[in-house]
């Protein structure tokens, strides 16, 4: 059977499964998620044995230590997957909620009822644990999922999906609810993106190249999660101690993630008071500073920033720093160089805080808090499936609710239209 037919059959199975999934009770889904968690823990030895094959192949292929680390199903990673499934089971079920109901002049009651999206395809890079994390979230929201992970992790992903499928079916989850594309053929992604009759949403997670490829080749709507060039603006009225803590947290607590701080903007009025002190703290933490001329005057050891630095997502212990004239100057810089991801202001001024919240275009805009809070768990959504930097459907961290949509429901007593 051809690759195209294989994928088409997966799509058909997923669509069928999605119809049954949409009707499952919350209890069935939650019991299944908890059983899956136990199933993964019980299959620990078996999963690690299969994982060994992926790790040996990675060794042979000379993959980096970081890549191999991401591939490894350690005891901690397996426990993490199980814990994640239990946490999703504990979240409220979004499906079936009526988000409001209103009465029309003719007596019709009109409401919106939350329903699953249907079938979701997730295209991601090497971590095999995404199989369980994304599978659990999609299942809870009543969706079927087709997973296409990195080829380096294929055996591990298939083994995880086999456990979820076996345990899930025993708990009443339909066949086809969680499927992994079982080929390393690179053409599979292109074929998958043509199945707009069987797949409702594609979520690519990985580098910019992958996301662009999916966007340009998909007939199915795509949720994009592009890079995070996140700013902190220290306003003239900022509490400088607070500002320093927020800058340090944004830059050094976990520099390799998309909500880490990349560019610091400082109001000229506090440049003298703030830059030398934050410069010392950053240097002590091993952060390289790339500054504008005014920053260079105030932080010894800073190197001059080039034009590219204002658009860089370093994901590393490097920080671009620029002095600006005003709140408007900061917002202009953010509009020109931001990536619609996460933007923060540190200020003591009411009007500045309100204007920043109103006028800055980003999936998450913060006042007096670290950029690191732009995360589904931190914002209170529970687990997230990604952070959207495009505006259609969802903008920002996507939790369970973002994996659903609403239909209109109407209750009448025989009304007809005049």
Q: Sheet containing 230-234: give its strands across.
A: 303-304, 288-291, 318-324, 261-267, 230-234, 342-346
Strand partners, 103: 109
Among 115, 162, 317, 318, binds its own copies (CB under 8 A): 115
Question: In terms of C-beta density within 10 A (0-12 exposed, 13-18 middle, 19 or more buried), how is residue 5 classed?
Answer: exposed
Note whether 392 binds its own copies by CB under 8 A. Answer: yes
Among 216, 286, 336, 350, binds its own copies (CB under 8 A): 216
Residues 351-390 that bind its own copies (CB under 8 A): 353, 357-359, 361-370, 372-374, 378-380, 390
Determine the 3-state secondary structure of 397 from DSSP.
strand
Whole-angstrom distance, CA of residue 190 vs CA of residue 186: 8
Q: What phi and psi, each to the nearest 5 degrees, are found at residue 104? A: -90, 160
Strand partners, 289: 319
Note whether 414 binds its own copies by CB under 8 A. Answer: yes
CB 368 to its own copies: min, Å: 4
Residues 325-344 that bind its own copies (CB under 8 A): 335
Note whether 197 binds its own copies by CB under 8 A. Answer: no
Taking contact as CB under 8 A, which single stretch among the options 27-35, 41-49, 86-94, 410-418 is the one that binds its own copies? Answer: 410-418
Taking contact as CB under 8 A, which single stretch among the options 63-71, 73-81, 126-134, 193-201 is the one that binds its own copies? Answer: 193-201
Whole-angstrom distance, CA of residue 352 vs CA of residue 160: 50
Q: Which residue has the tokens 């919350």?
A: 26
Dig out the tokens for 89 from the structure.
């089971």
Contacts with its own copies: how many residues (CB under 8 A)?
Answer: 69
Task: Residue 263: name the closest of 336, 364, 349, 355 by CA.
Answer: 336
Binding site for its own copies (CB under 8 A): 19, 22-23, 96, 102, 104, 108, 110, 113, 115, 117-118, 196, 200-201, 215-216, 219, 221-222, 239, 242, 245-246, 248-249, 253, 335, 353, 357-359, 361-370, 372-374, 378-380, 390-397, 405-417
């Amino acid at each position: 059977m051809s690759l195209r037919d294989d994928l088409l059959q997966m799509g058909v199975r997923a669509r069928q499964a999605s119809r049954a999934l949409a009707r499952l009770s919350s209890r069935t889904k939650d019991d299944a998620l908890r059983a899956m968690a136990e199933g993964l823990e019980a299959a620990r030895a078996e999963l690690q044995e299969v994982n060994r094959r992926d790790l040996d192949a990675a060794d042979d292929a000379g993959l980096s230590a970081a890549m191999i680390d991401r591939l490894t199903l350690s005891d901690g990673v397996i426990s993490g997957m199980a814990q994640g499934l239990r946490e999703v089971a504990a979240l409220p079920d979004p499906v079936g909620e009526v988000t409001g109901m209103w009465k029309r002049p003719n007596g019709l009651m009109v409401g919106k009822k939350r329903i699953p999206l249907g079938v979701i395809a997730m295209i991601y890079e090497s971590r095999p644990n995404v199989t369980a994390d994304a599978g659990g979230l999609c299942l809870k929201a009543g969706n079927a999922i087709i997973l296409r992970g990195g080829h380096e992790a294929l055996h591990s992903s298939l083994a995880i999906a086999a456990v979820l499928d076996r345990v899930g079916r025993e708990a009443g989850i339909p066949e086809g609810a969680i499927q992994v594309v079982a080929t390393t053929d690179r053409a599979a992604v292109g074929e998958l993106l043509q199945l707009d009759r069987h797949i409702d949403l594609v979520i690519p997670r990985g580098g910019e190249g992958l996301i662009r490829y999916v966007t340009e080749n998909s007939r199915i709507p795509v949720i994009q999660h592009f890079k995070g060039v996140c700013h902190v603006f220290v306003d003239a009225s900022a509490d400088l101690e607070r500002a320093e803590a927020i800058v340090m947290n944004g830059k050094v607590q976990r520099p390799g993630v998309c909500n880490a701080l990349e560019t610091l903007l400082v109001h000229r009025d506090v440049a003298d008071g703030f830059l030398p002190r934050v410069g010392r703290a950053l240097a002590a933490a091993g952060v390289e500073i790339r500054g504008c001329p005014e920053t260079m005057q105030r932080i010894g050891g800073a190197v001059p920033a080039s034009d590219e630095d204002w658009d860089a997502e370093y994901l590393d212990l490097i920080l671009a720093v620029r002095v600006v004239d005003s709140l408007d100057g900061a917002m202009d810089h953010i509009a020109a160089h931001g990536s619609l991801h996460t933007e923060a202001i540190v200020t003591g001024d009411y009007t500045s805080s309100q204007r920043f919240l109103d006028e800055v275009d980003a999936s998450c805009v913060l006042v007096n808090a670290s950029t690191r809070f732009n995360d589904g768990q931190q914002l209170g959504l529970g687990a997230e499936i990604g952070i959207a930097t495009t505006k259609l459907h969802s903008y920002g961290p996507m939790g369970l609710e973002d994996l659903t949509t609403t239909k209109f429901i109407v209750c009448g007593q025989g009304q007809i239209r005049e």
